[in-house]
Chains A and B, each alone.
Chain A
Amino acid sequence: MTAIELRCHVGVGPEVSGEALVTDDNFSARYDLDRIAGIFSRPQHKLAGQSYVDKIMVFNTAKGGVASAWMLHEMVSRKIAPKAILFNSVNPILAQGAALADMALCDRFEAGDVTSLIRSGDRVTVYPAEGRVVIER
């Protein structure tokens, strides 16, 4: 097993570890999820049908509306939520939502496209306060 360290901008939320689920698609909690079932429900989404529960999600960017800010908090309260979300570049809504929900969230990776650097199935630990992500594969 090898460990790879990625540096990013300082994020929000606690240190967490989990299995990565990666796509170069974008993300909105309102548009893309069945939040009761804990799966991606929008048919056009590249992760349609897959579960996001307890995953370290990796996306290109955030899209769409302001609702995701409340929704992350609501998803965490029911424990049907990702453990962390990583983006190449995030919009204010997801950052605000993660700050309220106390969910780990980071973006702006120094080594380039995070959706290429991390693979689905990788074991990933996120250190938001340090701006650091460690991949084990």
Chain B
Amino acid sequence: MKLNKEEQSMLNGEMGEPRRWAIEHMMRVGQFFDAPDFVEVTQAHIMADTESLGEAGVAFLEKMAAAPLVDRLVRIPMITDPRGIDFCHYRRLKQTDAMASLEQRAIDAFESLGIVMTNTCINYQTIMPPVRGEHLAFGDTGVVIYCNSVLGAHSNFEGGPSALAAGLTGRTPRYGLHLDQNRRASKVFNVKWQPHSLSDWGALGGIIGARTGSYWDVPVIDGIESRAGSDELKHFGAAMASYGSVPLFHLVGITPEAPTLDAVCDPIALVTESVTETDVDAFFARYGGKGDKVDVVVFSAPQLSLLEMQSLANLLDDKKIHANTSLLAVTSPAVAADARRAGFVERIEASGALVLEGMCFYQSYAREMGEANGWKRLMTNSAKLTNIIGGYGYQPTLSNMENCVASAIAGEIV
């Protein structure tokens, strides 16, 4: 890779050990993907939960945090993805003091590096939405696909170590979605059915993600007539990234790089696949569970926006969650503060539900929580969560927010 003088200085260790490690790490990744050089980035966002960091990851961060101040501070604005713990509620969730202790060590290390603990996977709705063409190093697949697709920014999936390296150096290897030629569509989907609920959008994203199936393919989707607002595209993108590891989509007439189909591909050269109502019905049917006792209903992955919190409060007014069922609503600290001020948190919790902030359900020791609480059957309106949570020992059911709430009240899947 071609290095400029400053990058060479970092590699030589002249700007401290953290930046030497960072540039060397990114050169390994860049050479793997044939990056010719680095591109400067304006923001970084890092996965911060201790379930994925583990003791080894936290010790790695602490070693960085022990470097002299001038060597260790990140050079660009850098924020965090959800943590694994809500310190106000972890005992109620039957998470352990050891988990909380590891989490606190991670927070201390992140803060020593100059990283702001935003604890959110909806920073594009709440913190600092990127602008078109902005180069970024973002570290949550849902964040990356939204910022690339809906906002026209440029980011690869940056795992924790690479996001940290980008924060320390202010750059990332120029490969993947930093290059315009990799943003052209390679698969065309014509949608013959219109999504309405957020779970519909998630299902559609999941179907297209699974059929796209590769980080290096870009789907363009035509035929959408439904309203596609921020929460809809949040669920759509998060599910697509989860089912297919896809970092970018184009929606014809909706997303900025695809005013027309021709703008992002040569449609004659590509085969067009259809997505029909039958496909969507089959997607929902995979998860089933109707009539089963439901142990836990989860609204999370991605964290809820203020408007989703309002919808949930409206559905739960004057209702009580079944004694044998838990309902968890997970959001960011910023949204939680607004939702508290607006009275949504109080209204949601009056039903017996619990509002959690700064975490995300599947990033929060979901296996241990499930075993400790006896949670097996999980219901959610997040297609992304249904895709992930089976590996943690749960039986997921996907439905819209209204059915999830009705099931939480009934204690069984309606």
Contact = CB atoms under 8 A, between A and B. Distances in A.
A89 B214 contact: yes
Contacts of B159: 66-70, 92-93, 96-97
A70 B54 contact: yes
- Looking at A11, A31, A76, A100, the one whose CB has the most chain B CB atoms below 10 A away is A100
- Looking at A9, A31, A67, A89, the one whose CB has the most chain B CB atoms below 10 A away is A67
A74 B57 contact: yes
A99 B391 contact: no
Contact of B139 (A66, A74, A99): A66
B387 A92 contact: no
Given A30-B391, A41-B393, A73-B57, A66 B31 contact: no
Contact of A91 (B81, B215, B393): B215
A121 B172 CA distance: 39
A92 B56 contact: no
The B interface, classified by DSSP as helix, strand, loop or mixed, is helix
B55 A74 contact: yes
Contact of A74 (B53, B81, B244): B53
Contact of A63 (B29, B31, B54, B244): B244
A113 interface: no
Nearest to B60: A73
Interface in A74-104: 74, 76-78, 89-93, 95-97, 99-100
Given A92-B33, A92-B158, A99 B47 contact: no
A117 interface: no
A65 interface: yes
A136 B244 CA distance: 33
A41 B392 CA distance: 7
B390 A65 contact: no
B56 to A, nearest CB: 3
A67 B81 CA distance: 11
B54 A100 contact: no
Contacts of A34: 367, 391
Contact of A64 (B28, B160, B388): B388
A133 B141 CA distance: 31
Interface residues of B, number: 47
Size bin of chain A's contact surface:
35 or more
A31 B141 CA distance: 14
Interface in B113-156: 139-141, 156
A91 B177 CA distance: 12
Contact of B54 (A44, A65, A71, A93): A71
A43 to B, nearest CB: 6
A7 to B, nearest CB: 16
Interface in A39-64: 41-45, 61-64
Contacts of A92: 29, 33, 156-159, 162, 175-176, 215
A33 interface: yes
Contacts of B216: 89
B245 interface: yes
A99 B391 CA distance: 25
Interface in B358-400: 362-363, 367, 387-388, 390-393
A63 B161 contact: no
Nearest to A27: B245
Contact of A93 (B25, B157, B367): B157
Interface of A: 9-12, 26, 28, 30-34, 41-45, 61-71, 73-74, 76-78, 89-93, 95-97, 99-100
Given A70-B161, A92-B29, A99-B25, 5 more contacts: A63-B244, A64-B242, A66-B140, A67-B160, A93-B245
